[in-house]
């Protein structure tokens, strides 16, 4: 049978025996009381390793001679070891009345074989041909003995390259059932304390996930888990559940080496603001040692057992250094810090005492490390919960304050959002109105003049001003009144009756000025008259915010309307300027009648219309007789007066539909659309007579009499093209001059 299967069967038997002990213990106890005997006398040792017979029996276990054996109080670390790694121990088993005796050994350094009557009855570990082996853990040992073992000599073959060699702890003979019951009873304490520690670790980890103080609860979870696993790995019941000593020893080593890391991190967090500079170095060193020792041991470079002495020395130094802050805490630390440091001091003393027992500095006994670690964990948890409760109280008060502040900020933000939405809506309206205004301005600029532009404005102004109710008045300068041209009312507003149709300039302030309306004049710049008022916009002031307005005052609307009126006024100023420029370009500056440039543009159009529609067209060319001599006699200033007067006579004689132009110098031309030659001749004769009878004066002095000569050409009476009428009228004028002047000649 393989050693593995034998170990599994032994484990099952042990578990069954332990369960049977728990169930039947009351009945058994009433029948008989178990006896246990300490094997603490008569021990002898012998350095080296025994030779073996051909049958594989050790020679030393068959010899009774005692001269090679030396007495020892306890079978551990005999004197004179030097470089020895093998030793034998023997003892005579005490007398006793046994039913199922076993020898209980707490631990062995490092591997062992047990012989009785020259026969091997127990083995832990594997010895090679040289009598050596490797570390396979520190389990407890239950060595079965025969019922008649009393008085017989028991031999122990030991190999150890560790600092200790031999048996360790308790060595007793007792009934198997009693031992299993004791194992279970002693393990319950460790299982309970380790379970509580692991539960604390789990709860701290969960609590830290949902709490802002993750660092504090994380360090608590790390220490509680490390101490819980350390205590759990030392439970003797483990081997009955899972018979792998190295597994439990590695768990114990990892958790034991993690304890200083977690302790220092805890202290570092809880001793603030008192800061110990070497704390960070300590836990980083131990973390590095943990990784290095376990890693090298798993790789087979070093034995796990050899990592303990170095660690214990470093841990003892670290514990001593960490007790230094106790002086500062006692002087100025908080109550929580003092309580935490007291729990740490107790745990440190227990750990130091356990190290002393492990290294045989004091007599062996079981140090209550489990309760010390549990007490430290509970102290940290209680302090953390108190701190958490205080923090939560402060947070609740802060939350109340923050909620009030948030409500204020939310209300302010809501107001700001409303204002921004209103601004956005108003901006959209402004953009829309600006687009409408640009279209109106474009139409006004493309108009033929101020009159046409005014008609466009009257048509577009209501749409530009809506939704504001109002009216538009145009100023009538000659009569001094404002005439209503259009109005638009809000059916739901207070202004339901139409405004006055006509308001005099003297009463406009009384009738159209009040606190509920804006009276906005539309002003423009006239080149000749200066600033003029084209009209007046009369608008109802909004009483409540409308279409994105931020307040009931209508400030944004007023600014928008003012901007529109200003731009409209600029366009009218431009149109007025353009009209004046056109007038100046087509009008003779001296006489005020149209000039030859204007005649050339109009005549070609009138000639084409006459020819297309067969309409009569007559042209008169007239010239002041002897005007050069007149200028030489009276001067050019007097001549200018005469020309102005002649132009006035022309305007009084001819119709408004006739076009009077100064053709050049003292020569004038009259274009008469729709007039035949008879009517033209009559008007020309009337003009000649009026000039002849006119008395001309200059600076109060009478000027000599003046006459004019006139030439006429007409279409269709004359067989000429309409485009040539001016040429032929000029020829007729020339004949009038040649015929003696002061006469009217018709072209033939």
User: pLDDT tens, 692-733?
Assistant: 998 888 887 888 789 999 999 998 888 888 888 999 999 999
Q: Which is more confident, 256 or 270?
A: 256
Q: What is d(CA 313, CA 358) in angstroms, rounded to the nearest whole number?
A: 12
Give residue 21's pLDDT band: very low, low, confident or very high (50, 70, 90). Answer: very low
Residue 272: predicted pLDDT: 66
Q: What is d(CA 583, CA 277) in angstroms, rounded to the nearest whole number?
A: 99
- Mean of the per-residue pLDDT values for the chain? 80
Q: Per the CATH hierarchy, to which homologous superfamily does domain 589-746 belong?
A: Reverse transcriptase/Diguanylate cyclase domain (3.30.70.270)
Q: Which is more confident, 652 or 16?
A: 652
Triad 357, 361, 363: Cα angle to 5°: 60
Dihedrals phi, psi of 137, to nearest 5 degrees: 115, 170
Domain boundaries, the chain: 1-33, 34-185, 211-393, 447-585, 589-746
| For residue 250, cis peptide bond before it (omega within 30 degrees of 0) | no
Residue 523: predicted pLDDT: 81
Percent of the chain with pLDDT over 90: 20
Give residue 127's pLDDT band: very low, low, confident or very high (50, 70, 90). Answer: very high
Residue 97: predicted pLDDT: 86
Buried b (16+ CB within 10 A) or exposed e, 448-471: eebeebbeebeebbbebbeebbbb
Residue 23: predicted pLDDT: 42
Neighbour tally for 625: CB within 10 Å: 20
**End-to-end CA separation in angstroms for the chain:** 160
Give the per-residue SS3 of 212-279.
CCHHHHHHHHHHHHHHHHHHHHCCCCHHHHCCCHHHHHHHHHHHHHHHHHHHHHHHHHHCCCCCCCCH
Residue 31: predicted pLDDT: 41
Q: What is d(CA 318, CA 310) in angstroms, rounded to the nearest whole number?
A: 12
Instruction: Collapse the DSSP code of 51 into the 3-class scheme (helix H, G, I; strand E, B; otherwise coil) and give the result.
Output: coil
Spatial neighbors of 298 by CB under 8 A, at least 6 apart, are 250
- Residue 1, pLDDT > 50, answer no
Its sign, for the CA torsion 318, 323, 328, 329, is positive
Residue 545: predicted pLDDT: 58
Spatial neighbors of 711 by CB under 8 A, at least 6 apart, are 620, 621, 622, 729, 730, 731, 732, 733, 734, 735, 736, 744, 745, 746, 747
Give residue 75's pLDDT band: very low, low, confident or very high (50, 70, 90). Answer: very high
Residue 471: predicted pLDDT: 81
Listed ranges 61-70, 250-259, 325-334, 436-445; the one with the highest mean pLDDT: 250-259
Give me the mean pLDDT over the 285-298 stretch.
90
Listed ranges 39-43, 86-90, 343-347, 355-359; the one with the highest mean pLDDT: 86-90
Q: What is d(CA 92, CA 118) in angstroms, rounded to the nearest whole number?
A: 14
Residue 175: predicted pLDDT: 92
Give residue 212's pLDDT band: very low, low, confident or very high (50, 70, 90). Answer: low
Neighbour tally for 208: CB within 10 Å: 18
Residue 57: predicted pLDDT: 87
| For residue 649, cis peptide bond before it (omega within 30 degrees of 0) | no
Q: Are 625 and 741 in contact (CB under 8 A)?
A: yes
Q: Are 692 and 705 in contact (CB under 8 A)?
A: yes
Inter-axis angle of helices 245-270 and 369-445, nearest 10: 60
Range scoring the smallest mean pLDDT among 98-102, 227-231, 616-620: 227-231
Give residue 27's pLDDT band: very low, low, confident or very high (50, 70, 90). Answer: very low
Q: Which is more confident, 337 or 390?
A: 390
- Residue 203, pLDDT > 90, answer no
Residue 28: predicted pLDDT: 41
CATH ID of 447-585, from 3.40.50, 3.30.450, 3.30.460, 3.30.2320:
3.30.450
Give me the mean pLDDT over the 602-615 stretch.
86
| In 675-725, beta strands by DSSP E | 697-698, 701-702, 708-715
Spatial neighbors of 663 by CB under 8 A, at least 6 apart, are 596, 599, 621, 669
For residue 365, CA distances in Å to 285, 322, 362, 369, 373 come to 30, 26, 9, 12, 18
Dihedrals phi, psi of 508, to nearest 5 degrees: -65, -35
Instruction: Collapse the DSSP code of 566 into the 3-class scheme (helix H, G, I; strand E, B; otherwise coil) and give the result.
Output: helix
Residue 482: predicted pLDDT: 78
Give me the mean pLDDT over the 678-684 stretch.
92
Residue 171: predicted pLDDT: 92
Give residue 428's pLDDT band: very low, low, confident or very high (50, 70, 90). Answer: confident
Residue 200: predicted pLDDT: 75
Going by C-alpha positions, the residue among 427, 464, 455, 472 that lies closest to residue 561 is 464
Going by C-alpha positions, the residue among 105, 89, 81 that lies closest to residue 163 is 81
Spatial neighbors of 707 by CB under 8 A, at least 6 apart, are 624, 625, 688, 691, 692, 741, 742
Size of the chain, expressed as the number of residues it contains: 748
Over the stretch 148-165, which tens digit does the pLDDT of each residue have?
888 899 999 999 988 889
Give residue 492's pLDDT band: very low, low, confident or very high (50, 70, 90). Answer: low
DSSP lists the bridge partners of residue 123 as 113
Q: What is d(CA 743, CA 623) in angstroms, rounded to the nearest whole number?
A: 11
Question: Within 13 Å, how many C-alpha atoms sit on residue 29's CB side?
Answer: 9
Over the stretch 391-409, which tens digit does the pLDDT of each residue have?
778 778 888 888 888 889 8
Q: Per the CATH hierarchy, to which homologous superfamily does domain 34-185 belong?
A: Galactose-binding domain-like (2.60.120.260)
Over the stretch 231-268, which tens digit does the pLDDT of each residue have?
888 888 888 888 888 898 888 889 888 888 887 887 77
- Residue 624, pLDDT > 90, answer yes
Listed ranges 151-160, 204-213, 403-412, 589-598; the one with the highest mean pLDDT: 151-160
Spatial neighbors of 445 by CB under 8 A, at least 6 apart, are 571, 574, 575
- Residue 382, pLDDT > 70, answer yes
Residue 167: predicted pLDDT: 93
- Residue 738, pLDDT > 70, answer yes
Q: Are 488 and 462 in contact (CB under 8 A)?
A: yes
Give residue 550's pLDDT band: very low, low, confident or very high (50, 70, 90). Answer: very low
Q: Are 487 and 461 in contact (CB under 8 A)?
A: no
Q: What is d(CA 410, CA 166) in angstroms, rounded to the nearest whole number?
A: 78
H-run or E-run covering 569 = helix 555-586
Buried b (16+ CB within 10 A) or exposed e, 14-24: beebbeebeee
- Residue 25, pLDDT > 50, answer no
Q: What is d(CA 358, CA 372) in angstroms, rounded to the nearest whole number?
A: 17
Q: What is d(CA 16, CA 389) in angstroms, rounded to the nearest whole number?
A: 48
């Amino acid at each position: 049978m393989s050693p593995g299967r034998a170990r599994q069967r032994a484990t099952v038997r042990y578990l069954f025996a332990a369960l049977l002990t728990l169930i039947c213990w009351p009945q058994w106890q009433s029948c008989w009381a178990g006896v246990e005997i300490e094997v603490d006398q008569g021990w002898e040792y012998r350095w080296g390793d025994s030779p073996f017979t051909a049958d594989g029996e050790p020679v030393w276990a068959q010899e009774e001679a005692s001269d090679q054996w030396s007495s020892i109080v306890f079978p551990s670390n005999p004197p004179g070891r030097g470089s020895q790694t093998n030793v034998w121990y023997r003892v005579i088993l005490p007398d006793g009345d046994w039913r199922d005796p076993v020898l209980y050994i707490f631990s062995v350094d490092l591997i062992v074989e047990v012989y009785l009557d020259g026969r091997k009855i127990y083995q832990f570990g594997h010895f090679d041909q040289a009598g050596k082996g490797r570390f396979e853990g520190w389990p407890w040992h239950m060595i079965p003995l025969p019922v008649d073992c009393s008085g017989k000599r028991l031999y122990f073959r030991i190999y150890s390259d560790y600092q200790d060699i031999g048996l360790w702890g308790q060595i007793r003979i007792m009934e198997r059932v009693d031992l299993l019951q004791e194992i279970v009873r002693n393990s319950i304490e460790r299982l309970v304390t380790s379970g509580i520690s692991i539960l604390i670790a789990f709860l701290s980890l969960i609590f830290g996930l949902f709490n802002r103080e993750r660092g504090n609860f994380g360090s608590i979870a790390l220490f509680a888990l490390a101490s819980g696993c350390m205590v759990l790995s030392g439970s003797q019941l483990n081997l009955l559940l899972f018979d792998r000593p190295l597994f439990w020893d590695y768990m114990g080593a990892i958790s034991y080496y993690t304890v200083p890391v977690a302790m220092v991190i805890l202290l570092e967090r809880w001793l603030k603001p008192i800061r110990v500079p070497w704390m960070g170095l300590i836990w980083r060193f131990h973390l590095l040692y943990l990784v290095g020792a376990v890693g090298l041991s798993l790789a087979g470079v070093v034995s796990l057992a050899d990592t303990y002495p170095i660690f214990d020395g470093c841990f003892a130094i670290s514990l001593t250094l960490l007790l230094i802050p106790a002086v500062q805490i006692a002087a100025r630390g908080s109550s929580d810090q003092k309580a935490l440091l007291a729990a740490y001091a107790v745990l440190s003393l227990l750990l130091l005492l356990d190290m002393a027992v492990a290294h045989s500095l004091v007599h062996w006994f079981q140090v209550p490390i489990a309760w010390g670690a549990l007490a430290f964990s509970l102290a940290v948890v209680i302090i953390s919960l108190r701190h958490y409760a205080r923090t939560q109280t402060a947070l609740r008060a802060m939350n109340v304050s923050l909620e009030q502040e948030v409500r204020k900020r939310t209300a302010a933000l809501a107001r700001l959002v409303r204002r921004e939405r209103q601004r956005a809506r108003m901006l959209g309206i402004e953009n829309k109105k600006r687009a409408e205004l640009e279209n109106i301005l474009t139409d006004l600029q493309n108009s033929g003049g101020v009159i046409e532009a005014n008609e466009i404005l009257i048509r577009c102004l209501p749409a530009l001003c809506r939704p504001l109710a109002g009216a538009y008045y145009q100023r009538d300068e000659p009569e001094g009144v404002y005439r209503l041209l259009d109005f638009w009312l809000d059916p739901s507003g207070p202004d339901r009756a139409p405004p006055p149709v006509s308001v005099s300039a003297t009463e406009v302030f009384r009738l159209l000025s009040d606190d509920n309306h804006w009276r906005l004049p539309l002003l423009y710049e006239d080149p000749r008259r200066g600033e003029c008022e084209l009209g007046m916009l009369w608008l109802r002031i909004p009483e409540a915010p409308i279409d994105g307005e931020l307040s009931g005052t209508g400030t944004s609307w007023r600014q928008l309307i003012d901007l529109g009126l200003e731009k409209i006024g600029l366009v009218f100023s431009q149109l007025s300027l353009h009209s004046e420029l056109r007038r100046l370009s087509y009008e003779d500056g001296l006489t005020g009648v149209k000039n030859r440039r204007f005649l050339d543009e109009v005549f070609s159009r009138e000639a084409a219309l006459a020819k297309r529609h067969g309409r009569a067209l007559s042209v008169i060319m007239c010239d002041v007789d002897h005007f050069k001599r007149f200028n030489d006699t009276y001067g050019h200033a007097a001549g200018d007066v005469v020309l102005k007067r002649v132009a006035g006579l022309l305007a009084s004689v001819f119709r408004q539909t006739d076009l009077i132009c100064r053709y050049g110098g003292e020569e004038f031309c009259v274009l008469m659309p729709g007039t035949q030659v008879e009517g033209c001749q009559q008007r020309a004769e009337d003009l000649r007579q009026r000039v002849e009878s006119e008395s001309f004066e200059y600076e109060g002095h009478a000027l000599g009499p003046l006459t004019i000569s006139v030439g006429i050409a007409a279409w269709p009476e004359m067989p000429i093209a309409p485009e040539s009428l001016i040429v032929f009228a000029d020829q007729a004028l020339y004949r009038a001059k040649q015929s003696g002047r002061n006469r009217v000649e018709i072209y033939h």
